[in-house]
Structure 1
Amino acid sequence: MAEMVSKRRFFGALGAAALAVLALGVPGGTARAEAPLSVVATTGMIADAAREIGGAHVTVKALMGPGVDPHSYRQTRTDIVALANADLVLWHGLYLEAQMEEFLLELAEDGHVVAVAEALPKDRLIGHDSYSDKFDPHVWMDPELWAGVVVAVRDALIAARPDAEADFRASAERHLAELDGLARYTRRILASVPEGNRVLLTSHDAFNYFGAAYDFEVVGIQGISTESEAGLKRIAELVELLVARDIRAVFVESSVSDRNIRALAEGASAAGHKVVIGGELFSDAMGTPGTYEGTYLGMIDHNATVIARALGGTAPDRGMQGKLAGI
């Protein structure tokens, strides 16, 4: 009798274990519901928003790391596997991932694939300098505009995992409050730059939304896309601009070669006008993962602080919260 009871307990436990395993693959099963949502984002900025909002409900992979140019990036075999297996794919849109766009649009036919920047109102976007039917994609340069992308990320996460909606909304509200604080800090320190100094000259036109938000004239050696070429004529024109406007600082970008900027500075020097490299800015990619500059908040804090200090404004050398590595 005791042996029979023991066997019943054994097979009962075995059956319970089998049911638990089956629940992993059954929609609505407890273990399945608790498994983190697998999210793949194209850029670091989008991945950062997904982590901030998703919290423990998500695992997030960014395809493009520090120093990577999204305009020319092409998906690798590893990327294709990751994108195909993801529960949710978040990409920017607005023709930023130009070399990946066809693949992403095809992928959207079979799963949760969302171009988050496409949700922004078109009347808030700046026209593309090369394509009449497209827009400047660098919307993250204005934290107030980026907030709209954060909301789109929140909504995409809710659609993919509705049972976590309350948590997603609470986390999004917290992060949006952080973005508001970042925008106020950025506006305050950039307002300290003398009006005559408010010319931002960089490698390519990634800062047009920045210029519109903070009343800076933005000049890029290349156009909106890094695919465009900057010739000797363009460099000569900009040397004349530096001399005529008495511009004393120019900026390199972390994801674009500094060759053209250094050629510009050398050309100005040959014309008897001293120009310094005001610092390195994060344009199309954030800083190193695991650092403050490797977050969206740190990226914009770094840019605003570097620009303000280099162009004669007043800003703390370690930024908004004292977290920058030091300028």
Structure 2
Amino acid sequence: MIRRSFLAAMAIAAALPIAAWADAPLKVVATTGMIADAVRQVGGDQVEVKGLMGPGVDPHAYRQTRSDIVAMTRADLVLWHGLYLEAQMEGFFQDLARKRTVIAVADGIDKSKLRAHDDYADKYDPHVWMTPELWRDVVIEVQAALTEVHPEAAEIFAANAQAHLADVDRLTAYAQDTLGTVPDNNKVLVTAHDAFGYFGESFGFEVLGIQGISTQSEAGLNRIGELVDVLVDRQITAVFVESSVSDRSMRALIEGAAAKGHEVKVGGELFSDAMGEDGTYEGTYVGMLDHNITVIAGALDGEVPGRGMDGKLSAGF
């Protein structure tokens, strides 16, 4: 949530030379690619954004580097996810908040909307970006944070946020239409870790992860054996690997099913905790979800357009 009062932000703004606001963009550091994209969408040319975690990086295990520390201590605003996603960095953020404006943008989501964490009684599933309806709340929090630190650009931030939220809403409609074409008996999503719980709840899929909500939980032989039995008994033919998680356990799952005479294919690679390559459509939030929705629906016998919602996906389906 926003931790500094509006008056405090105004006082900081008043203390700075007018030219500093007019000429220099706001320096923002964001932990995940999803947050960095939200800042770029809302901030536009008013911000200069540095994302700490690039494609393929697992935020559950990430620790700040020396260059990260330098960037954050020099930033006007530091945005992190919260909800125990960046578990290895929480202590650092608590210390940094005494000196800089540091905001956990997902912590402000109404807790009644969140899933309980499967490993910690007092925590919640942090993967809220997996459903556009929850991500809207994060975008709004990003807008509030930018406005608090740079109130002079409030109208710009509001207009940009409104435009971006319209795209997020279109994404919800696309997901409902496209995933709705998947036959009911195919609506089982088997992934490397339990990052797709909100996705499943929103779009009517049963989600089975080898690991728990955090990639730091171990995938034991018993869990793999249980899932092999599920694949065989229910004749599930497609599973999904993740760009930020090793596919070793998923390969063991496929091999285990094969040993029992049941063929399972990799339905595709999904973006779970990190987006696609920088500079690509899949390297944006909308592109990331468009990719996941289209890959899942296509692999599970749904009807999908050739290149996703707006024809921008890098690969055809």
Whether the aligned pair in 2 keeps the contact of 1:26 and 1:32 (CA below 8 Å) is no
Aligned residue among 239, 243, 267 for 1:254: 243
Query: Which position in structure 2 is the counterpart of 1:3?
Result: none
Q: Does residue 116 in structure 1 map to residue 105 in structure 2?
A: yes
AA of the residue aligned to 2:36:
A
Residue 317 of structure 1 deviates from its aligned partner by 2.7
Distance 1:106 1:139 in 2: 25
Query: Which position in structure 1 is the counterpart of 2:298?
Result: 309
* Root mean square deviation, CA, Å: 1.1
Residue 234 of structure 1 deviates from its aligned partner by 1.1
Query: Which position in structure 2 is the counterpart of 1:273?
Result: 262
Distance 1:119 1:315 in 2: 35
AA of the residue aligned to 1:33:
W
Query: Which position in structure 2 is the counterpart of 1:19?
Result: none
Whether the aligned pair in 2 keeps the contact of 1:140 and 1:146 (CA below 8 Å) is yes
Task: Trace 1:223-302 onto structure 2 (pairs within 5 A).
Answer: 223-302=212-291
Q: Does residue 160 in structure 1 map to residue 149 in structure 2?
A: yes
AA of the residue aligned to 2:268:
G
Query: Which position in structure 2 is the counterpart of 1:67?
Result: 56
Distance 1:261 1:323 in 2: 29
Extract structure 1 runs of 4+ deviating beyond 2 A. 25-30
Paired residue secondary structure (1:96)? coil
Task: Trace 1:1-327 onto structure 2 (pairs within 5 A).
Answer: 27-34=15-22, 35-326=24-315, 327=317
Paired residue secondary structure (1:89)? strand
Residue 314 of structure 1 deviates from its aligned partner by 0.5
Whether the aligned pair in 2 keeps the contact of 1:252 and 1:280 (CA below 8 Å) is yes
Aligned residues: 303
Unpaired runs of at least 5, structure 2 = 1-12
Residue 310 of structure 1 deviates from its aligned partner by 0.2
AA of the residue aligned to 1:224:
I
Normalising to structure 2: TM-score of the pair? 0.94
Paired residue secondary structure (1:315)? coil
Distance 1:130 1:83 in 2: 30
Distance 1:317 1:244 in 2: 32
Residue 108 of structure 1 deviates from its aligned partner by 1.2
